[in-house]
Homo-oligomer: A and B are copies of this chain.
Amino acid sequence: MMQENRLHQFAPELREVPANSPLEMVVQRWSRYCHLTSEDRAALCALRFTLRTFQRDEYMVREGDIAKECAVILRGFAYRQKIGGDGQRQILSFHIPGEFVDLQNTMLGVADHSVQCVNGCEAAIISRSALIQIADQYPRLRAAMWIDTLLEASIFREWLLNVGRRDARTRIAHLLCELAFRMTELNGTRDGPFRLPLTQEQLADATGLTAVHTNRTLQALRREGLIQLSSGSLAILDWERLREVGDFDELYLHRHI
């Protein structure tokens, strides 16, 4: 229900890259695969935005919404989901700080799925028109946005393989590998321990399993000394074996770009 807990307006006083703009996170991430000039950076960081805190499971976007704004996660996690006709939930992706949560819905106009917050997160809300405007004006920012949506699509494809063709053990291991890998820079470590406040039910809905079977599968992975996962914290004890078990190959994350 989108209640706003904190709400500030940030004005773009500086045309120089504001070293402490929250949008710096986006600049850093994009710099990995796009060369951005200092003008690009300045334009991005100069975007007006609203800070907003979301409660656990609060909707950030709701299926059917007309997109008017777009969020960048600053703290915490978010997830996309679709609900089937019988109420079955499938989680489509997880999002970590520094990622745009809704470029696709923003560009398509009508949300075909929902986005919710995992466990209390903070986001910068940007107006759709402002975003489209800098996309029109700055080719490199536009390219970065496009690539962002393409990378997401690539992750969807890998998840399709994961859910469609791998067994429970492999699915869970793969998901954990992906999350750890994507958060490497964020956490300063790939193997953890780091915060991952997902419930087993959420892991289940992301892998197309039941919570019960996810529980048993996690126990097996723990018993074998591959991972340590409890009270919202994950550590990968044996990356190589987990990667093997999870059939994980990071090519699809396109980090080489």
Q: Check B88–A166 contact: CB distance below 8 A.
A: yes
Note all chain B residues with C-beta closer than 8 A to A161.
Answer: 82, 84, 88, 90, 92
Mark A100-112 against chain B: 1 for CB-CB distance below 8 A, else 0: 0000100111101
Q: Which chain B residue shows the least CB distance to A248?
A: B85
Q: Which chain B residue shows the least CB distance to A82?
A: B161
Q: Check B165–A89 contact: CB distance below 8 A.
A: yes
Note all chain B residues with C-beta closer than 8 A to A165.
Answer: 84, 88-90, 208
Note all chain B residues with C-beta closer than 8 A to A82.
Answer: 157-158, 160-161
Q: How many protomers of this protein does the assembly include?
A: 2
- For chain A, the bracket of interface size reads 35 or more
Q: Check B154–A84 contact: CB distance below 8 A.
A: no
Q: Which chain B residue shows the least CB distance to A145?
A: B146
Mark A42-70 against chain B: 1 for CB-CB distance below 8 A, else 0: 00000000000000000000001000000
New A-B contacts (15) at CB < 8 Å, excluding given A159-B160, A160-B160: A64-B251, A86-B247, A92-B157, A104-B153, A108-B257, A109-B257, A110-B254, A110-B256, A112-B254, A146-B146, A149-B149, A149-B153, A156-B160, A163-B163, A164-B208
